[in-house]
Structure 1
Amino acid sequence: MKKSLKFLFPVIILLLAGCAKTEPDARQIVDAAIAAHGGDGYANATIDFDFRGRHYQSVRNGGEFRYSRAFADSTGEVLDVLDNSGFTRSVNGEIIALSATDSSRFANALNSVIYFALLPFPLQDAAVQPKKLADETINEQPYHTIEVTFQQSGGGKDFEDVFIYWFHRERNTMDYLAYKFYTDGGGIRFREAFNSRVVGGIRIADFHNFKPQDPDLPVQETAAAFQKNELTKLSEIVLENLSVSKN
Structure 2
Amino acid sequence: MRNILEKSGILTILALLVFINHACKPTAQSIVDECIEVYGGKKYDDLDVAFDFRNMHYTIKNINGKYTYTRIQIDSSGHKIEDVVTNDSFERKIDGVKTSVPDSMATKYTSSVNSVAYFFLLPKPLNDPAVSKELVGTSKIKGKEYDKIKVKFSEEGGGKDHQDVFMYWIEKKSKSMDYFAYSYETNGGGIRFREAFNQKTQNGIKYSDYRNYGFEDLNTKLENLDVLFGQNKIPLKSEIINLNVIIK
Q: TM-score, normalised by structure 2?
A: 0.90
Does residue 205 of structure 2 align to residue 202 of structure 1? yes
Question: Which of these residues, 217, 220, 237, is aligned with residue 240 of structure 2?
Answer: 237
The letter for the 2-side match of 1:116 is F
Aligned to 1:154: 157
Q: Name the CA distance, whole Å, in 2 between partners of 1:90 and 1:199.
A: 30
User: 1:51-66 counterparts in 2 under 5 A?
Assistant: 51-66=53-68
Superimposed CA distance per residue, residues 86-116 of structure 1 (whole angstroms, 9 cap, x where no aligned partner): 1111110001110111111111111100100
Q: Name the CA distance, whole Å, in 2 between partners of 1:227 and 1:243.
A: 34
Change (3 A) 1:214 1:188: closer
Does residue 171 of structure 2 align to residue 168 of structure 1? yes
Q: Name the CA distance, whole Å, in 2 between partners of 1:12 and 1:83.
A: 54
Aligned to 1:86: 89
Q: Displacement, 1:185?
A: 1.3
* Alignment size in residue pairs: 241
RMSD: 2.1
SS in structure 2 opposite 1:170?
coil
Change (3 A) 1:138 1:61: same
Does residue 100 of structure 2 align to residue 97 of structure 1? yes
- Residue ranges of structure 2 left out of the alignment (5+ in a row): none
Aligned to 1:37: 39
Contact kept, 8 Å, 2:191 with 2:216, in 1: the verdict is no
The letter for the 2-side match of 1:68 is T
Change (3 A) 1:184 1:13: same
Aligned to 1:177: 180
Q: TM-score, normalised by structure 1?
A: 0.91
SS in structure 2 opposite 1:133?
strand
Q: Name the CA distance, whole Å, in 2 between partners of 1:203 and 1:50.
A: 17
Contact kept, 8 Å, 1:213 with 1:231, in 2: the verdict is no
The letter for the 1-side match of 2:70 is S
SS in structure 1 opposite 2:235?
strand
Aligned to 1:50: 52
Question: What is the aligned-residue identity percentage?
Answer: 35
User: 1:211-226 counterparts in 2 under 5 A?
Assistant: 211-212=214-215, 216-226=219-229
